[in-house]
Amino acid sequence: MGLSVRHRVPFRGRRTAVAPATCAQRHMWNLIERQLPDAAFYNVCHWVDLPGRGTAQDLLAVFAELLGRHESLRTGFARDPDGDLIQHVAESGEFEAEVWTVGRGEDAEGVLRTWRHRMRHSPFEPARAPLVRFMVTVVDGAPVLAGFCVSHLAADLASLRLLADEVTRLLDAAASGRPFPPAVPSRQPVEQAWFERSPRGRALLRRAHAYWRRQLAGAPATLFPRADGAGGRPAGTGGEATAAVRHSAALDSRAVALALPLLARHWRVSTSAVLLTVVARLLGHRAGLSSCALRLLTANRSDPELRGTVANLHAEVAVTIDLEGDRVEDIARRAFAACTAAYANGLYDPDDVTDLFEAAARERGVPVDLSYCFNDIRAGHGLPETAGNRTGPVSGATLRTAMADTVVTSHEFEEGETFFLVIDDEEPGWTRLVLNADGRALTPCEVRGFLYDVERALVEHAEHAVADGL
């Protein structure tokens, strides 16, 4: 498989700092604690293919530069004497990196898979920064792949994509003998914590508190009622550890990739809202409800100062989709508006929201279950103005032909929710839907059937749009 050498590489930043944890950091800390004893459950791995320039030492220098630039990567967490979560930024230290030398024609991707599997079972100690590890695959003396594993306390998916882009740019400079390009100015997590305590930050938290209260007042108690008539899960925002059997499957579809932009233009919504509408209708129909409440994952980067921030800013915010009416495009437009309001309230205090769940349960006499997540991680969600289909005109026959290529397979993805759907478009021309569900809610056949139902509904709606003359 190749030869591996483990390095301990020094890093140095510009300062040390201590501050309260941000809302997103506290939210993730709570999720990790609920998942114990699996302390590595929220480790996240990402990788980037490299052009085969420079040396492994160049790449190790790039990794050290990343830690110097991004304080979240060298931040540890602990509770203070009052029990409040604190973030502590280390000015200097060492990080771990593995350099794998692989012969030409050997399985470089197998090395990555093995490393990722080990990282999935190698927990970080939250108090000991840095909460990141790196790996490099070298062929003919040049790095061809870089991988990094972080605790979700330190970074979210948007951050990992930023890091991947930055690795490529910095390595290009190092390989060419040029100075590293300057870092993009961005707000660091310490400043984010103080922002949340500023007058503007407190106003945003109050607005989000009122939003969550309204959502919980109108949300259905559960989307998966048990046979005895009780709710499906305990109250909470999800993420609770469970011993229940879980099932995962992935659907890879060209037909979905073709249908989404077509419907986005026809319904005048984003492609993400198209998907959410179809998923909400299927869930609502299954439960016999006229509305569907679930949680959207948001990157929380609408503030220009956060566009280049590497940190955990992610949150899961409630949204309720009104399913009344016969015209699916009307439902989609309401869903788009509901999503816009939800994302605007992505910054909230997670402990306050927990209190709201408990209060709603007392008022209604039954817990409110929002253990259903919709996570569209595609790089572009395609509003109507930019959602043009790049493959040319789409006909009903084209869509049906594309469905013949659809593949559904088992998947290793696992979450702690009753229902967790992820949408990705890593493979050009294809859309991947990955669903993980609690076995008490959906059987393996039902998980796969739900994915097929999403594809079928999208194709049928697209066919109707084509027939209407789109």
Mean pLDDT over 215-223 rounds to 93
Secondary structure letter of residue 181 according to DSSP:
P
Question: Per this entry, what is the length of the chain?
Answer: 470
Q: Does 447 or 391 have the greater pLDDT score?
A: 447
Mean pLDDT over 14-30 rounds to 96
pTM to 2 decimals?
0.89
Residue 263 and residue 132 share a domain: no
Residue 216 and residue 187 share a domain: no
Please report the pLDDT score of residue 140 as a whole number: 87
Please report the pLDDT score of residue 232 as a whole number: 46
Please report the pLDDT score of residue 470 as a whole number: 57
Mean pLDDT over 3-11 rounds to 92
Residue 211 and residue 132 share a domain: no
Q: Are the C-beta atoms of residues 52 and 102 closer than 8 Å to each other?
A: no
Residue 153 and residue 205 share a domain: no
Kindly provide the residue ranges of all beta strands, DSSP E only, lying in 109-153, ordered along the sequence.
132-139, 142-151
Residue 254 and residue 124 share a domain: no
CA atoms of 292 and 279, how far apart (whole Å): 9
Pairing of strands 3-12, 92-101: antiparallel
Closest by CA to 98, choosing from 72, 65, 135, 129, is 135
Helix or strand run (H / E) with residue 87? strand 85-89
CA atoms of 28 and 31, how far apart (whole Å): 5
Amino acid type, 201: G
Mean pLDDT over 28-48 rounds to 92
What's the CATH code of the domain at 45?
3.30.559.10
Task: Mark which of 172, 191, 210 sits at the end of a domain.
Answer: 191
What's the CATH code of the domain at 213?
3.30.559.30
pLDDT in tens, 345-375: 999 999 999 999 999 999 999 999 999 999 9
Residue 72 and residue 219 share a domain: no
Please report the pLDDT score of residue 112 as a whole number: 87
Residue 237 and residue 89 share a domain: no
Task: Mark which of 161, 191, 221 sits at the end of a domain.
Answer: 191
Residue 215 and residue 109 share a domain: no
Residue 207 and residue 185 share a domain: no
Mean pLDDT over 60-75 rounds to 97
Q: Is residue 193 pLDDT above 90, yes or no?
A: yes
Residue 283 and residue 402 share a domain: yes
Please report the pLDDT score of residue 240 as a whole number: 45
Residue 66 and residue 8 share a domain: yes
Q: Is residue 392 pLDDT above 50, yes or no?
A: yes
Q: Which residue has the tokens 């004893």?
A: 37
Which residues in 6-27 are b (16+ Cβ under 10 Å) and which e? ebebebebeeebebbbbbbbbb
pLDDT in tens, 301-337: 989 999 999 999 999 999 999 999 989 999 999 999 9
To the nearest whole percent, how much of the chain has pLDDT over 90? Answer: 80
Per-residue confidence at 110, pLDDT binned at 50, 70, 90? Answer: confident
Mean pLDDT over 68-95 rounds to 96
| Backbone region of residue 26 per phi and psi (left: phi > 0; alpha: psi in -120 to 50; beta: other values) | alpha
Hey, is 30 helix, strand or coil? Answer: helix
Residue 270 and residue 369 share a domain: yes
Task: Mark which of 191, 221, 245 sits at the end of a domain.
Answer: 191
CA atoms of 152 and 337, how far apart (whole Å): 29
Which residues in 113-143 are b (16+ Cβ under 10 Å) and which e? ebbbeebbeebbebeebbbbbbbbbbbeebb
Structural domains in the chain (count): 2
Q: Which domain holds residue 103?
A: 3-191
